[in-house]
């Protein structure tokens, strides 16, 4: 039987079985493993219905675990802090001090007479053409041993020196502090205390590049924490774009990356200010807002972009991190900035977030986004080193009262996109496309809105996307809504997407969830690598890529491609009649291949037309499976940077065979 006949036969079987399964009661979700009703012929699924089948993946297979490096947590410094910062709740201002016992210990160990310290304020430089990539610093001021921090000082860098009676001898400690200053009039606090259970606070915590599979594998203590009462895992959460930006954009604005271009070019100054970020809506609803992220070069909304012209949230960490990475000694680990001076890059973000929560969660509704790249972006095993440290922060957030009144989202943007062990393994397609997402609902919300929480529970094993998260954030500002028809506006690029607090359709396709075919994890695949049409498809893809370079006027900078090797060709098997291509002579294939020069490794989804041998594909949705860091320095645009092989970056072995 030919491959096409096999496909048609299986499609008919899928349609029949899909009709049958739609009549069955929905499966009861389990956080750790799929339920028995989602198993067929020994295969387990996290999502299984007439339109979508996302299989369970064992995180602990031998092929991954035997090659997994052991990473341990490392502090950046063993020194004790010379300067302490505390908030005075009576005065409602911060105090910094140099405790005598700490300074005396330093002096006794060296035989010197005194320690003297100075400080500089760090502010956002509004005179800079690109404020998100700049900072302004004050002159150095003397820091007394006890000082009340001025109310307009948000960030401070300190330096302490040992000295004798006449001479400054040497610097002994450099440090940095953030101050989440008071912005609340007393009447607002009093009003909030009367209606605190009307508006839930919302805090999003993100770890870059962590799949739901790898989270279980590398962070068992955190996984145990999010298995506690009140947490719900979105087991069918599927990314909608390649890297961080399109996924975060969809979650925070409801726009796809392509859709945002109708408003402005994100590479131009002031574009991000014009996009409808959800924190503006929370600000209009009298929430205090905050956004903090580590690793200057990898920031979700600033990577290869000018960022925000105006400060986007009430409390904003960007210019402080820019200053610290510029002024402090950096230590790299796991492929990124790990230590900034004496502290973890990660700590600056979550200390800032903890201050924000401690200061305001009991006084006013808050909305915050805390995002970290430093541990997880480049090394799939590195989250293991963060596990216990992150759990410690979660327990400190718990002690601060975060989980009493707040909706908390622990999420990622995508799984690992390059790793040789995980991404190139048998489950790499799913590892990349299925990031983690856990949503916590506080006790009062569970009691007041049991119907919404029940819906959230039902949605755990249904297909969901970043656009659904956006609609959920919208819903939390409109909790009197009776249905999705009451929530406005809808996600601009996904009118059918909806709040996770309303029941998602059991039978839901990627198209209905705003997920493009290339990122869709719903379809089983059948290997077609050895079919006669496999290599012609790969050659057609490479030709399409070369034609695209010409259309984008990149041929002066970027080298043409030639096919080096077709690694695999997988036929995507529709599980529903409505998922069929436009006619019987068209099929979707996932093409995994390498090109010359530089052995660039790509994956893309194409619509193959068997009569003409032609392919349709979208270069926005091509995946680069090995790092492009050494290949694409000649281009600044984000999407071409993924696939351009700069002519001045061609490696010697490829030049010899050109």
Looking up tokens 């389990």 gives 30
Mean pLDDT of 176-188: 88
Q: For residues 416 and 114, which has the higher predicted lDDT (pLDDT)?
A: 416
**Confidence (pLDDT) at 571:** 95
Q: What is the pLDDT of residues 347-392, one digit of tens each?
A: 999 999 999 999 999 999 999 999 999 999 999 999 999 999 999 9
Residue 172 has pLDDT above 60, yes or no: yes
Strands (E), 456-554: 463-464, 525-527
Residue 4 has pLDDT above 50, yes or no: no
d(CA 21, CA 50): 7
Looking up tokens 């996770």 gives 500
Mean pLDDT of 391-396: 98
Residue 42 has pLDDT above 80, yes or no: no
Q: Which DSSP state fits 461?
A: G
d(CA 201, CA 206): 17
d(CA 470, CA 425): 32
**Confidence (pLDDT) at 372:** 98
- As a whole number, the mean pLDDT across the chain is 89
Region for residue 270 given its phi and psi (left: phi exceeds 0; alpha: psi -120 to 50; beta: otherwise): left
Looking up tokens 């390649």 gives 242
The dihedral built from the CA positions of residue 573, 574, 577 and 581, taken in this order, carries a sign that is negative
Find the range with the poorest average confidence among 47-51, 584-588, 594-598, 649-653: 649-653
Q: What is the pLDDT of residues 624-648, one digit of tens each?
A: 998 888 898 898 877 888 889 999 9
The secondary structure element, H or E, covering residue 52 is none
Residues 6+ apart with CB under 8 A from 375: 207, 334, 336, 338, 346, 382, 383, 385, 386
Residue 656 has pLDDT above 60, yes or no: no
Q: Which DSSP state fits 622?
A: P
pLDDT band at residue 24, thresholds of 50, 70 and 90?
very low
Strands (E), 179-211: 201-207
**Confidence (pLDDT) at 29:** 35
**Confidence (pLDDT) at 107:** 65
**Phi, psi dihedral angles at 615 (to 5 degrees):** -125, 150
The dihedral built from the CA positions of residue 475, 476, 478 and 479, taken in this order, carries a sign that is positive
Mean pLDDT of 421-429: 82
3 state SS of 271: helix
201-207/406-411 β-pairing: parallel
pLDDT band at residue 2, thresholds of 50, 70 and 90?
very low
**Confidence (pLDDT) at 572:** 92
Q: For residues 131 and 29, which has the higher predicted lDDT (pLDDT)?
A: 131
Mean pLDDT of 431-451: 97
Q: Which two tokens stand for residue 287?
A: 């929430």
pLDDT band at residue 490, thresholds of 50, 70 and 90?
very high
Q: What is the pLDDT of residues 73-95, one digit of tens each?
A: 999 999 888 999 999 989 999 99
Counting residues of the chain whose pLDDT is more than 90, the rounded percentage is: 73
pLDDT band at residue 651, thresholds of 50, 70 and 90?
confident
**Confidence (pLDDT) at 197:** 66
**429, 590 in Cβ contact below 8 A?**
yes
**Confidence (pLDDT) at 15:** 31
**Confidence (pLDDT) at 299:** 93
**492, 278 in Cβ contact below 8 A?**
no
Residue 26 has pLDDT above 50, yes or no: no
Stated length of the chain? 658
pLDDT band at residue 16, thresholds of 50, 70 and 90?
very low
Residue 579 has pLDDT above 70, yes or no: no
Residue 284 has pLDDT above 50, yes or no: yes
The model's pTM: 0.91
d(CA 226, CA 387): 12
**Confidence (pLDDT) at 456:** 98
**Confidence (pLDDT) at 391:** 98
Residues 6+ apart with CB under 8 A from 58: none
Residue 467 has pLDDT above 90, yes or no: yes
Mean pLDDT of 35-41: 49
3 state SS of 446: helix
Find the range with the poorest average confidence among 10-24, 105-119, 225-239, 399-413: 10-24
d(CA 462, CA 508): 8
**Confidence (pLDDT) at 184:** 83
pLDDT band at residue 163, thresholds of 50, 70 and 90?
confident
Q: For residues 361 and 576, which has the higher predicted lDDT (pLDDT)?
A: 361
d(CA 295, CA 282): 26
Counting residues of the chain whose pLDDT is more than 70, the rounded percentage is: 88
Q: Which whole-number Å values give the CA distances from 312 to 520, 548, 617, in the listed order?
A: 32, 35, 36
């Amino acid at each position: 039987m030919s491959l096409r006949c096999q496909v048609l036969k299986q499609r008919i079987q899928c349609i029949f079985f899909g009709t049958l399964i739609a009549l069955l009661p929905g499966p009861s979700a389990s956080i750790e493993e799929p339920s028995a009703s989602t198993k067929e012929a020994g295969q387990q699924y996290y999502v299984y219905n007439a339109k979508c089948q996302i299989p369970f993946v064992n995180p602990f297979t031998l092929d991954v675990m035997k090659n997994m490096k052991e990473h341990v947590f490392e502090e950046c410094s063993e020194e004790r802090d010379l300067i302490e910062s505390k908030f005075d709740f009576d005065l409602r201002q911060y105090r910094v001090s140099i405790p005598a016992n700490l300074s005396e210990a330093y002096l006794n160990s060296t035989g010197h007479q005194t320690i003297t310290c100075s400080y500089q304020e760090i502010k956002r430089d509004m005179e800079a053409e690109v404020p998100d990539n700049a900072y302004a610093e004050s002159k150095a001021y003397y820091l007394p041993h006890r000082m009340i921090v001025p109310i307009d000082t948000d960030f401070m860098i300190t330096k302490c020196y040992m000295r004798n009676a006449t001479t400054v001898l040497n610097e002994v400690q450099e440090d940095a502090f953030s101050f989440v200053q008071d912005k609340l009039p007393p009447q607002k606090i009093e009003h909030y205390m009367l209606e605190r259970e009307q508006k839930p606070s919302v805090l999003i915590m993100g770890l870059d590049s962590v799949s739901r599979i790898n989270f279980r594998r590398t962070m068992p203590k955190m996984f145990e924490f999010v298995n506690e009462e009140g947490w719900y895992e979105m087991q069918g959460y599927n990314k909608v774009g390649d890297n961080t930006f399109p996924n975060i954009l969809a979650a925070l604005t409801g726009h796809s990356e392509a859709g945002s271009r109708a408003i402005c070019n994100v590479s131009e100054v002031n574009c991000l200010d014009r996009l409808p970020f959800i924190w503006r809506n929370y600000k209009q609803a009298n929430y205090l807002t905050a956004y903090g992220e580590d690793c200057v070069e990898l920031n979700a909304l600033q990577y290869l972009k000018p960022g925000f012209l105006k400060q986007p949230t009430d409390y904003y960490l960007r210019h402080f991190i820019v200053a610290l990475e510029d002024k402090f000694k950096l230590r790299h680990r796991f492929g990124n900035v790990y230590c900034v001076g004496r502290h973890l890059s990660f700590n600056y973000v979550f200390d800032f977030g903890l201050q924000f929560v401690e200061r305001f969660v009991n006084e006013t509704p808050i909305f915050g986004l805390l995002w970290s790249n430093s541990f997880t972006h480049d090394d799939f095993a590195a989250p293991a080193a963060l596990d216990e440290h992150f759990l410690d922060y979660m327990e400190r957030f718990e002690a601060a009262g975060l989980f009493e009144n707040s909706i908390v989202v622990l999420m990622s943007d995508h799984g690992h996109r390059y790793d040789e062990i995980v991404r190139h393994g048998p489950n790499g397609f799913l590892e990349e496309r299925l990031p983690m997402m856990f949503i916590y609902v506080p006790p009062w919300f569970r009691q007041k809105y049991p119907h919404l929480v029940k819906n959230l529970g039902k949605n755990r094993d249904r297909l969901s996307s970043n656009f659904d998260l956006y609609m959920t954030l919208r819903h939390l500002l409109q909790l009197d809504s009776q249905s999705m028809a009451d929530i406005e506006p809808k996600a601009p690029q996904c009118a059918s997407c909806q709040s996770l607090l309303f029941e998602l359709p059991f039978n839901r396709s990627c198209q209905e969830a705003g997920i493009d075919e290339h990122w869709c994890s719903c379809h089983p695949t059948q290997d077609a690598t050895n079919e006669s049409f496999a290599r012609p498809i790969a050659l057609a893809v490479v030709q399409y890529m070369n034609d695209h370079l010409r259309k984008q006027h990149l041929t002066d900078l970027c080298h043409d491609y030639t096919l080096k090797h077709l690694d695999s060709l997988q036929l995507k098997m529709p599980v529903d009649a409505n998922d069929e291509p436009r006619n019987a002579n068209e099929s979707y294939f996932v093409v995994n291949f390498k090109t010359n020069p530089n052995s660039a490794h790509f994956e893309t989804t194409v619509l193959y037309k068997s009569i003409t041998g032609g392919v349709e594909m979208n270069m926005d949705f091509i995946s680069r499976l090995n790092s492009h860091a050494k290949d694409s320095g000649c281009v600044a645009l984000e999407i071409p940077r993924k696939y351009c092989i700069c002519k001045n970056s061609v490696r010697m072995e490829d030049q010899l065979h050109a």
